[in-house]
Structure 1
Amino acid sequence: MTLEELLTELKKAEAFEKKRLNRVDNKKDEIRATLEDVLSVAHDEDIESRIGKMRLILNELLEKQKSIKFSDLSSPLDRTGMLMAYLAILFLATRKEIWIEQEEFFGEIFISRGSIMSGDKEILEAALFASGEPLDIGQLKNLVRGKNVRELLRQLADEYIARDSAIEIKEMDSRFIMQVKPEFAEKVRSIAPKELRSPVLRTLAMIAYHQPITVAELVDRRGPATYDHVRELEESGFISAVQHGRTRLLATTQRFAEYFNLESGDPEAIKRK
């Protein structure tokens, strides 16, 4: 069944209900619907925003049950709200995000999870979050083979827009990144983790593997630049330092374990990694 045919059936159902209640005459002109009508309504009512909101609602409901009734979604809505909810569902169905079934004319519409609403977006979302840096299409395709990655990412980005999130998904030179919106970035900059330069990261790795280790021993192994590395790592909260004679003894902190997703901050457990 095409989108146009589904909309025509909706118009027929509305006309049938109007006739039953003696509110309006059952005119053929009121039954006909075209794709131009849909596009006009969609433009006027910002249908993409409504699709994003409907997607969030359906995702949440379909996590708890295999299918839901359209009447359960539309019961609190007025006529315009019901029409827009129905349009949003039709668009989601044409994009294969959901399946819709109706056993008889004017009967209940049942909505279930489609081929795209299957956890693939969540996998891409997790990848973007975990990476913290732009990922190209090739990298993401390896995670959800055989799926339209660009379409999934577009839907994911729309969901963040629909819920007015402080996080956004952006495409830059055919690579995708999850980031804080510019208007919020400055406000959280002071608590955001700073990227470690390669030399500093190597110094941190040596501390983690040889801890507890003195600054003097570390300088012997890594050179004079180590003093700056140690200061930077202390400021970032990755290492702690306690006085040890004329030098200081270094070890990793709990923040180190959390940042690198380790199960334990115990030095011996870290060494085994």
Structure 2
Amino acid sequence: MLFSETLLAALECLLFVAAEPLSIKNLANILETKEKDTEELLDSLARKYNDKESGIQLVRLAGGYQLCTRPEFSGYIEKLYKPQAHALSRAALETLAIVAYRQPITRAEMEQIRGVKVDGVVNTLMEKKLIQEIGRKEGPGRPILYGTSGQFLQYFGLDDLEDLPDPEKFLDKAAVEEAAASQGSD
């Protein structure tokens, strides 16, 4: 059977966007073709990738087909998706959580909550673009106010700050009551 380029392109699109292997039956239903014709389309697509020495290949996996990268290019992919070389320290994570839940917040307010100086940690978080200056507080000295950045949302896979988990779900009740009491005495 001679296939249209459109049908072959549609098959390629389906395989590209699928997170899991697609069965011949599933592909045939979507493309509105016979299973035998779908197999021929798959063979044609596999030849297309093999002939042009592509970085992509068509692979049969788990009873279906999927577009995958060729193993010989794994080194490049690892460079793209290499883990962050420098993970955040515990102090940085604590300070970042304070900023995320209490923003806008000044350095002095962060230090009051943590009980230690935060200059180095704030500088690190600023360098990593996880927090940013968002204004100045009214009052003596007009201290800088900090808040989280768009990079913070992206780093933690959040759409907006409302997606932050409720701290009461992962803190014990005593810690929550202690924090509330310290807020009331400010």
TM-score interval, normalised by the smaller of the two chains: 0.3 to 0.5
Report 1 or 2 for greater relative contact order, CA contacts < 8 Å, sequence distance ≥ 6.
2
TM-score by length of 2: 0.48
